[in-house]
Amino acid sequence: MYNAATQAWRTTKGFMPQTIALFPGRKPVRDLQGLPASLGRIGALEVRLATHKRDIRKAQKLRFKVFYEEGGAIADARSALTRRDLCAFDRICDHLIVIDHDFLNRFGRRKPKVVGCYRLLRQDVAERRGGFYSASEFDIAPLLARHAGKRFLELGRSCVHADWRSKRVLELLWRGVWTYVRHHRVDVMIGCASLPGADPKPHAQTLAWLSAAASPNDAWATRALPERRVAIDAADLPDVEPRKAMAKLPPLLKGYLRVGAKIGAEAVSDRQFGTTDVFIIMPVAEIDPRYISYFSTPESETRLAA
């Protein structure tokens, strides 16, 4: 989806602070599964997992604002009526959210506001509940079969509010993702990342460069579904300078590349969301150690705030 911009104590009946919502609902709908309520904080900004329905609705409202109002995605009747990006996968995913605790509403009152989000789907959950979202665009079954002993995590629906698009929010989201990955012993992160516009032709040079610079080896190779695949003839395209190619990428895709992500060689046109999607593969063992260190230590909050 459009990426303008996706955890240690056990929750028990006797310890309720773990499940207190920033936006209270009737009852928790997600179990933190041993993760702390807060996964990191920089000043007024905090990253955490959504535990109540209202938390998730706030993330859906943010996604609607970014994907539909700003990005031009086509909403179905229900999403248009509720002004929320509604997706059946939301019911089975965990939702990572960044909250600004110092937001001033129109009445001049401070009220927590969701300003960034990521959607996380573990393989064990996906296998029980119908599979991964990215399987609707890419043929990932061979990839999963080749790495049957590894734990996969799908990242998706990542976005940040236009007024909060800063390095701090993106890095807080990544700190939350990495804490989640370590806690659940994830081996591989996968997902769809997007370039704006469903017509792949303007991205031909960028896609050709991505294929040359970050294409996976056979062990990690993944193809688009035949009915979704878009053809790019890169034979006659001029070479692209790496710096210029990187400059054209959305921030999230740049971040994936910097940590060492591999990019599938084929793309998909998503007409509903108005994007050209590529498949991301991030084996945890191959992530640049600098980033693992950066997001693993408490001191990183100080560095993030600098």
CATH number, domain containing residue 53? 3.40.630.30
In a domain, 217, yes or no: yes
In a domain, 2, yes or no: no
In a domain, 6, yes or no: no
CA distance 220 to 198: 25
- Which pLDDT does position 236 carry in this prediction? 58
H or E element: which one contains 190?
strand 188-196
10 Å CB burial of residue 196 (0-12, 13-18, 19+) is: middle
Q: Are 207 and 257 in contact (CB under 8 A)?
A: no
In a domain, 4, yes or no: no
CA distance 203 to 267: 10
- Which pLDDT does position 18 carry in this prediction? 37
User: pTM to 2 decimals?
Assistant: 0.86
- Which pLDDT does position 23 carry in this prediction? 57
- Which pLDDT does position 31 carry in this prediction? 87
Which structural domain range is residue 162 located in?
16-305
In a domain, 8, yes or no: no
Q: Residue 197 region, left (φ>0) first, then alpha (ψ -120 to 50), else beta? A: left
Q: Are 126 and 191 in contact (CB under 8 A)?
A: no
- Which pLDDT does position 17 carry in this prediction? 33
Our count of domains for the chain comes to: 1
10 Å CB burial of residue 161 (0-12, 13-18, 19+) is: buried
Residues of the chain with pLDDT under 50: 1-20, 299-306
In a domain, 9, yes or no: no
In a domain, 5, yes or no: no
